[in-house]
Structure 1
């Protein structure tokens, strides 16, 4: 067993090269490791072995993006000075327990962040896995990938779609090849994503080129109701942003596409997520083939899929202006229920039934709020502080303003234990303790 120190450095010796990591509060964190590089609108190219030591930057690299005022209210302020924009944002961060048995191979959880395929990155304070890693003796790898115009909108060979998916596949290849050097088990890899990150994972399961790269999937709050009948909207958005494709400054690109979003409103609710995976382009099958493809692949992956009971409540009930401000609470509750059902719940039910019919091992869950004075209930993203316990990072979140932090801690510890059990074994025992907020069943 290694000895624990509060602070210091550690060097990992890997087939990829030497990687410097930080020891901090019982974990070892290797930050911002570049797993691939890309030119604009090109597939990622894996990074070659380097004889020099890989040293992380003081600032965290992110794909160029616009700050989302809504997400800043929901989750918290972005300290922009701690990040720098990189058009080739293929980086990952590895968090491992400092104390562990050198002969043991730990289960590996790969975090695919959400953000509507438009914002975010893998390595944020609000998705810091340190508490989970220490508690459950697992390794968490957080992946960053291309977003928006650079990663999830395309329509021809010069601007191909799904480049962000190709980034994720390249990251999984790197993890498979190198995890042994960090004490991880390359044969026990679980991909774990929330919101668009969960949607991406569902699509990785039917992508070409992922054979044997992971064994399990945890899919939280995936907006699978937005995945269908998008081709006309994507084509129109692609054509309208054609003039931006050669803009030298990627930050100007992210500013430039916004003016066209109102013109897409005619396509309905899915306009709220203008970027997405696109069927009929590599590495995906056609939309018509997708359900049968999931059923066909069902025996390859253990799956845990679910949602929060009031997914859309934060957006509907805390809108600062517009129609929702003037509606009666009971009407708002109906809107929340209907939109949660159509975007998240019914599509997850269809996915789970279809997967079980294919012989897959699949569990389905729902998270509730049990506090009477919690006006918005179990809204989108409430699962994140439960898994990624970090009181300092979440202190400005309006999502949690009616929730005592002790409530998050108590329920979160039990939830983290169940999710880690699934990552280790692909099962959740009937005897395992459940948090009061959780419904879960094997399909």
Structure 2
């Protein structure tokens, strides 16, 4: 390691080639713009070319082109986000030091496979790295049609999953140069990121790269489209695009994506008009193969959970009030019951599962303990979450007080295979509601 005291620059030497990062005032080392791959439009990703000269990784890598999030009224708009570009296969890495063998925590962001990015400031891993003495890696992957269109002769689909697998392979090959242990990787994500993490467990190429998983508010895998449904959506998208999909400007891709989403919303029974997300096809296997792979030894350690009012995030701004019993029912069927089923599968396979419910809600303002409310407690900075509606009028000191315990719990799981803190561990889930860990209530 070499450090320039004037610019606080730090040079790391991974197998992929030397990269320059920055040492912050918190003494953490950040490399927010490391390229892990490249990809032509609608093609599988390939590893980034090795290089011998230092590459500047001090600026956040671009995120995939995207439209505004439908949950922007809940979380607020992205603040100081990096630029958008199809050339988006970058990751952000934060580490306490370049030596040692710390657990590695790889974050897969949510956003319905349509929005978000691992290099956004809301996903900065500094607080988690500091409180848990872990290496945090946040991954960008292709979104929307660019990542999940399935159309004959154009795109095979599931490209965003291939991106995530390639990022995990980069971690395996390079993380030792950042003080991380490639044999101790915890994959964690929220919403679409949590579903991705669970999907990756059933893909042999990815399964061998992950030791532990934390799935925060994962919708049921059974809700993903079949291969036929995914490919049937392709013609709708192509018609909406009205041009050569391989050369169409990015805005044309996004406009066609929006039209396809509108068709899906207006006609949910229309065959094939599914949202752009992973489909039950290569590399994601069928249910029988998934179950066989999931049960193969060693069984992964798993933390899985949900918030107390998941569905509340999806009714903010609804044209008419939505009854609370409807919100509760949606929360249970979409998030709670699937979490219990996945945990039960781990138990049946002889593994350890820990189930939680995150119930913190702001005293004033906000929308209750809705989908995604725990993310500011784990990741991001005071500046990136300033004014976020989901936190209401809560001051940052309160977020930090609750967040430190949560971050230590997640890091303890990465270190030892059980969540909690050194002073207070969690009981394993036994299949009963009474063993669900209540957090923040």
Shared fold per TM-score greater than 0.5? yes
- Paired residues for 1:132-143 under 5 Å: 132-143=128-139
- CA change 1:128–1:6 in 2 (3 A) is farther
- Paired residues for 1:29-428 under 5 Å: 29-56=30-57, 58=59, 60-68=61-69, 70-79=70-79, 82-98=81-97, 102=99, 104-156=100-152, 158-224=154-220, 227-228=223-224, 233-243=229-239, 244=241, 245-265=245-265, 266-267=267-268, 274-279=275-280, 281-286=281-286, 288-289=287-288, 292-293=291-292, 295-297=294-296, 299-316=298-315, 318-319=316-317, 321-324=318-321, 331=323, 333-369=324-360, 373=364, 376-388=367-379, 390-428=381-419
Deviations 1:175-195 (A, max 9, x none): 101111111111111111111
Secondary structure at 2:198 match in 1: helix
Question: Within the alignment, does 1:20 sit opposite 2:33 as a pair?
Answer: no
Deviations 1:64-117 (A, max 9, x none): 11122x33322222346x52222131111110115x8x4x31111011111111
- Give 1:391 deviation, angstroms: 2.0
Deviations 1:148-179 (A, max 9, x none): 11111214453111111111111111110111
- CA change 1:119–1:72 in 2 (3 A) is same
Contact 1:208 1:282 in 2 (8 A): no
Number of equivalent positions: 422
Contact 1:208 1:284 in 2 (8 A): no
5+ residue gaps in structure 1? none
Secondary structure at 1:312 match in 2: helix
Residues of 2 paired with 1:416 and 1:28: CA distance?
A: 18
Residues of 1 paired with 2:362 and 2:214: CA distance?
A: 26
Residues of 2 paired with 1:297 and 1:247: CA distance?
A: 43
Contact 1:77 1:396 in 2 (8 A): no
Deviations 1:365-400 (A, max 9, x none): 111136665662210111101112522211121111
RMSD: 2.9
Secondary structure at 1:323 match in 2: coil
Tell me the TM-score normalised to structure 2 length.
0.87
- CA change 1:394–1:368 in 2 (3 A) is same
Contact 1:291 1:354 in 2 (8 A): no
Contact 2:366 2:391 in 1 (8 A): no
Contact 1:133 1:139 in 2 (8 A): yes
- CA change 1:382–1:294 in 2 (3 A) is farther
Contact 2:366 2:389 in 1 (8 A): no
Tell me the TM-score normalised to structure 1 length.
0.87
Contact 1:162 1:283 in 2 (8 A): yes
